[in-house]
Amino acid sequence: MCVCLCVYLFRSAAEAGPHDILKLYNPKGNIINISPRLEPNSPNSCYKLEVVAADCNSEPLGVELAVALGFDLSSMEKRLQGLEKKILIEAGETPAVVYEMKRQVESFREKLESVEHLSWLGLFKELSEGTQKPSPFYHKRTLRKTREECEHVREKFLQMSSLEVSEEVRQYLKTPTFDNWQWEDAEIMVLLQVMYTDLDFIATFNIEPEVLHQFLYEVYKRYNNIPFHNFKHCFCVTQMMYGLIWLTDLKSKIDSIDLLTMLTSAVCHDLDHTGYNNAYQINARTELALRYNDISPLENHHCAVAFEILEKNENNIFRNLTTEQYKRIREGIIKCILATDMTRHNEILNKFKSILPVFDFSNKDHRDVLMMIMIKVSDISNEARPMDVAEPWLDCLLQEFYNQSDMEKLEGLPVTPFMDRDKVTKPSSQTGFIGFVLLPLFIELANLFPCLEQHIIDPVRKALDYYTEMEKALEREKLIRAQSDKAAAAKNKDTTPQNLQNPQKTADSLSEAGNALKPPTL
């Protein structure tokens, strides 16, 4: 199998250079991971190794591809998820044994992940606030990226920055179905560069390539090693914003400077997020909460970090703008990033609904509200993506939630209800959020842009159906387990010795026995 696989792979990638970006596709055209579990191929049904980004100005450097075969955990997890869904479809419900196995695995994983928080045992918790403070992430990486980690990604990015991304990938990048999990951080930075290029920002605003490279690298550095609000989340939000701009043909409706504001806001919207939300910041009286007087402390911080990056001339992609243009873009970025605070959700949505019947793209106030709605939709758009892309993101989000609620319990703070691992399940976390937050927001945007119905609303409705069925299945399983426990308790009661069934009688007997053993009173 390995021999024939390599023959067809090398034949299809013979022109690849050492720094080109390559992706492996199966005969159906889906991107797959290289692993020992790959099925054998043949001349009539072979894998395709495609150069999705290449240096078109350099000479072909020959074949320099190293295929590393090993145990691929993410591939196995996806396969298991697929098998579970297949069982659900065929059997009508997930067998109890599957839930029991998942419960045992989850229990074991929680034990591994929660060691960091067992300060009451004096085992692990660091109380120092240094830059190497452990992150609430199960693989125990430091919260901040290390210098070596950043330099490695920077070197790869600069090697790839001159690559010409294929037309197929450029078109794929404009769709909500884009799979972020198949791309490394350095490759993601190349794709962000493509977005700025394809929207004509480089030429229109005279953004020098080396300044854009440095800006993207500084942004990458300031996203932390946390489960959800990390650099990949930044990319997903930006990619959805980019896709919405193309799907709605916004280029023909609003100024380029507003588009630049929207895309850059998405890139910067969660800079230096530490994995703990505003409620925690305020209740714990953190430095951020004190600095911003409990008013959107995280979002204000994200803005401040963004302009801290842009303050340095070598990072400032806006340095060739006029003073008025810069003032306008700064005002817009602040409005957009502050709009991602979910405590303002109803306020912003109601404002958008009120102007929708008379919406005017030439009206600045209307455009400002639209920009806030667009970044809000992009920020919480994971459920609009295919399930195999969206569901891993939900797992990451729940991990971050659980980490926060664990910390709240340890520190004696109010526990955020929707983050409590003892009360929240995957389906219960989604059904209410999709029904009461996502769909109402997405529907209003689709009222302005009807073309979005099939792209973001239909997938979200399917996701709601999926998690509703999952929640029902869990409830059925919970009922079956309760009935089983009740039956087992009744059976145990029937087999208990008679004297142990009456605690008072047993106590009296023990008392009499004790009195009999007492020495006589003198």
Per residue in 118-169, pLDDT tens? 333 333 333 333 333 333 443 456 899 999 999 999 999 999 999 999 999 9
Tokens standing for residue 120:
């009451």
Asked if residue 513 has pLDDT above 50, the reply is: no
270 is in an annotated binding site: yes
Nearest Cα neighbor of 192 from 242, 150, 230, 256 is: 242
Q: What is the pLDDT of residues 382-408, one digit of tens each?
A: 999 999 999 999 999 999 999 999 999
The pLDDT-based confidence of 112 (bands split at 50, 70, 90) is low
Number of other CB atoms surrounding residue 176 within 10 Å: 19
Give CA 74 to chain center in angstroms.
Answer: 15
81 is in an annotated binding site: no
301 is in an annotated binding site: no
Tokens standing for residue 222:
């300031």
Number of other CB atoms surrounding residue 193 within 10 Å: 22
229 is in an annotated binding site: yes
State the DSSP H helix or E strand holding residue 379, giving kind and residue range, or none if neither: helix 364-379
Residue 48 buriedness (CB in 10 A; 0-12 / 13-18 / 19+): middle
Asked if residue 22 has pLDDT above 90, the reply is: no
CA distances from 235 to 163, 261, 263, 342, 455 (A): 19, 16, 10, 20, 19
More confidently predicted of 79 and 319: 319
Of 39-43, 160-164, 294-298, the range with the lowest mean pLDDT is 39-43
CA distance 504 to 349: 64
Nearest Cα neighbor of 363 from 442, 303, 354, 345 is: 354
Predicted pLDDT of residue 488? 84
Asked if residue 519 has pLDDT above 90, the reply is: no
231 is in an annotated binding site: yes
Nearest Cα neighbor of 213 from 236, 196, 227 is: 196
CA distance 271 to 30: 32
Residue 49 pairs with which residues in a beta bridge?
24
Q: What does the mean pLDDT of the chain come to?
A: 84
The pLDDT of 297-306, averaged and rounded, is 98
- Contact (Cβ atoms closer than 8 angstroms) between residue 471 and residue 427: yes
318 is in an annotated binding site: no
The pLDDT of 276-298, averaged and rounded, is 98
- Contact (Cβ atoms closer than 8 angstroms) between residue 322 and residue 205: no
Query: Which of 301-305's residues contact partners 24+ apart within 8 Å by CB, and which partners?
Result: 301/271, 301/272, 302/268, 302/269, 302/270, 302/271, 302/272, 302/273, 302/337, 303/268, 303/333, 303/334, 303/337, 303/338, 305/222, 305/268, 305/271, 305/272
Q: What are phi and psi of 24, to 5 degrees?
A: -100, 130
CA distance 191 to 246: 15
- In the chain, what are the domain boundaries? 1-58, 147-418
CA distance 20 to 16: 6
230 is in an annotated binding site: yes
Residue 417 buriedness (CB in 10 A; 0-12 / 13-18 / 19+): exposed
Residue 49 buriedness (CB in 10 A; 0-12 / 13-18 / 19+): buried
Of 69-73, 200-204, 258-262, 386-390, the range with the lowest mean pLDDT is 69-73
The dihedral built from the CA positions of residue 150, 208, 171 and 163, taken in this order, carries a sign that is: negative
Q: What is the pLDDT of residues 210-259, one digit of tens each?
A: 999 999 999 999 999 999 999 999 999 999 999 999 999 999 999 999 99
Provide the residue type at 45 as one letter.
S
Tokens standing for residue 275:
């994995």
Is the pTM for the entire model greater than 0.85?
no
Superfamily of domain 147-418: 3'5'-cyclic nucleotide phosphodiesterase, catalytic domain (1.10.1300.10)
- Contact (Cβ atoms closer than 8 angstroms) between residue 307 and residue 330: yes
Of 12-21, 238-247, 336-345, 406-415, the range with the lowest mean pLDDT is 12-21
Asked if residue 54 has pLDDT above 90, the reply is: no
- Contact (Cβ atoms closer than 8 angstroms) between residue 27 and residue 50: no
- Contact (Cβ atoms closer than 8 angstroms) between residue 220 and residue 186: no
455 is in an annotated binding site: no
Asked if residue 316 has pLDDT above 60, the reply is: yes
The pLDDT-based confidence of 24 (bands split at 50, 70, 90) is confident
Q: Outline where DSSP puts E strands in 326-432.
A: none
Asked if residue 433 has pLDDT above 90, the reply is: yes
The pLDDT of 64-87, averaged and rounded, is 59
The residues carrying an active-site annotation are 229
The pLDDT of 70-75, averaged and rounded, is 54
Which range of 36-45, 121-130, 388-397, 496-505 scores highest in mean pLDDT? It is 388-397
Number of other CB atoms surrounding residue 155 within 10 Å: 12
**Alpha-helix residue ranges (DSSP H) falling in 276-363:** 278-283, 287-291, 297-311, 323-338, 345-355
Asked if residue 518 has pLDDT above 50, the reply is: no
Tokens standing for residue 271:
């800079």
Of 10-24, 188-202, 216-230, 272-286, the range with the lowest mean pLDDT is 10-24
Predicted pLDDT of residue 454? 96
Which range of 23-27, 79-83, 214-218, 501-505 scores highest in mean pLDDT? It is 214-218
Q: What percentage of the chain reaches a pLDDT higher than 70?
A: 77
* DSSP state, residue 329: H
Q: Find where tokens 């590393």 sit.
A: 68
More confidently predicted of 149 and 114: 149
Predicted pLDDT of residue 497? 58
Provide the residue type at 51 as one letter.
V
CA distance 108 to 86: 25
Residues 6+ apart with CB under 8 A from 383: 390, 430, 434, 438, 459, 460, 463
Predicted pLDDT of residue 390? 97
Predicted pLDDT of residue 414? 96
